[in-house]
A = this chain, B = another copy of it.
Amino acid sequence: MYQYQYPHPAVTVDCIIFGFDGQNLKVMLVQRKSEPFAKMWALPGAFVNEDESLESCAERVLMKEGNISGVYLEQLFTFGTPSRDPRERVISVAYMGLVKTADFELIAGNDELQIEWRDVEQVGDLAFDHNDILATAIQRIRGKIRYQPIGFELLDSKFTLPQLQQLYEAILGQSLDRRNFRKKLLSMQILKQLSEKQQNVAHKAAFYYEFDRERYEVLMKEGIYLELV
A residues whose Cβ falls under 8 Å from a Cβ of B: 1-11, 47-54, 75, 77-78, 80-82, 89, 91, 93
Contacts and interface: CB of A to CB of B under 8 A. Distances in A.
A47 B8 CA distance: 9
Instruction: Tell me the dominant secondary structure on chain A's binding face.
Output: loop
Contacts of A9: 8, 11, 48, 50
Nearest to A57: B80
Contact of A48 (B10, B51, B80): B80
B11 A8 contact: yes
A5 B3 CA distance: 9
A93 B78 contact: yes
A80 B93 contact: yes
A11 B82 contact: no
A8 to B, nearest CB: 4
Contact of A81 (B8, B11, B53): B53
Nearest to A91: B11
